[in-house]
Each structure stands twice: as C-alpha cells, then as structure tokens.
Structure 1
Amino acid sequence: MASSDRLSTIFAALADPTRRAILARLADGDATVSELAEPFDISLPAISRHLKVLEGAGLISRSRTAQWRSSRLEAGPLREATDWMERYRRFWDANFDRLDAHLRRIQARTDTERTQT
C-alpha cells in the first residue's frame, strides 16, 4: 500500500471516537472483545466491526487462544501518523516563533516611544 493510502486508512480508523477509546484501552494491555465492549453501550458485533477497521489499518493485531480472542495495540501505524503530523507542528511552531518575535519588536517600539514622550 502506498504511504499516503496507508495514512488515509490510519486516519480514517482514528476518526471514530469509539475506535480511539478502544486504542486507549489497549494501551493499558491486551483485551478481549468483551473487555473492550464493557464501557460502551453498543453490541459485541459492533465492537467487532470497529476492531476489524483497526486491524485493517494495522493499529491492532488479534490473536486466538482456545476460545479467547484478544486484541493488542500495534504502535507502528500511530508512529507513521505522528511523524506525518510532526512536519506540520514544526511549521506552526516556526510561524508562532516569527509572530512572537514580531510582537516583541512592536512592544519594544511602543515602549521606546513611551519613554521618549
């Protein structure tokens, strides 16, 4: 899958608040579908559909041991999304730094004008 397509899949999976909550829960450790469904007022099949989306995006992996099927957070795709967003954070930080410098220059001029009058 091309990098931009993969990012689209990752961001689409992250766009849903239920899926983000599931990922937050999995950050604490592996969990079964029942454990993941516990805080939500939705059916187990609905949770399973959310898990399929997360698995398709590579954000989780699922394993089966006897009758238990657990899910595990996979951090790699989150890192890809973070790396992509990092470029834009640096862009905004630089813009805010320039704005801060400009405002300091204006303030210094204002202060100078006040002391001269």
Structure 2
Amino acid sequence: MAEEAGGVRSFQSYTAAKRALGSRPGQELHHIVEQCQAKPERSGLPVERVNTTDNFVWLPVPAHRRISAHYSQHLPGTNQRVRDVLTGNDWDRQYRYGERAVSRELRKEEESP
C-alpha cells in the first residue's frame, strides 16, 4: 500500500488514515499488525507506526472478515485468542504473522470459483 500512497505515510489514527486513503468498493482496509497492539495493555506499539501505509492492505470484505475471525478465535485447550498470544511480541514477529494470515486468505479468494 505504501507504493500506492507515494511512500510510507503515517497517521495519528485509523480514522485519519481512512479519510486520507479513501475507500474501495467491496474492499476493506486491513492492518497487518492489528491496531489493538497499540494499546498499552497489549504491545504498546506506537499508534503512528500501526497506522502507516506499509502496515495497511486492501482486502476483499470476506477475506478481511475471515482474518478478523481468526485473530478472535481461542486456541485449542486454552482461554487465549490468537491476538492474546501475539501480545508482547515485537513488531517484526507480529508483521510476519499478519502477512501469512493475509497470504493464506488471498489464496483462498483465488481458489474459490
């Protein structure tokens, strides 16, 4: 997304990012590293880092919803959700995990008739 936006741009909030980046029919703007990880009780990542064009990707609505559901599901035999397990991990690890989640869902989109 950074290339489309003319380079890496940072925003003070998700709302400001959406206002600047606009919308696309049938797609939603997705954070690769979840925006909840900016909360102090999570990973405490800087909001301006989480809301950058190199952390956003446009996804078809169904793929975005499946990724969100994945992050909300409880791990078998635990009371922890996927996002809970990611809490406290550094940026790079969370970004790699998020990239894999996006790639997996985009492959499903391509495979569906």
TM-score range, shorter-chain basis? under 0.3
In the superposition, the TM-score normalised over structure 2's length comes to 0.26
Higher helix share: 1
By relative contact order (CA 8 Å, sep 6+), the higher-ranking structure is 2
In the superposition, the TM-score normalised over structure 1's length comes to 0.25
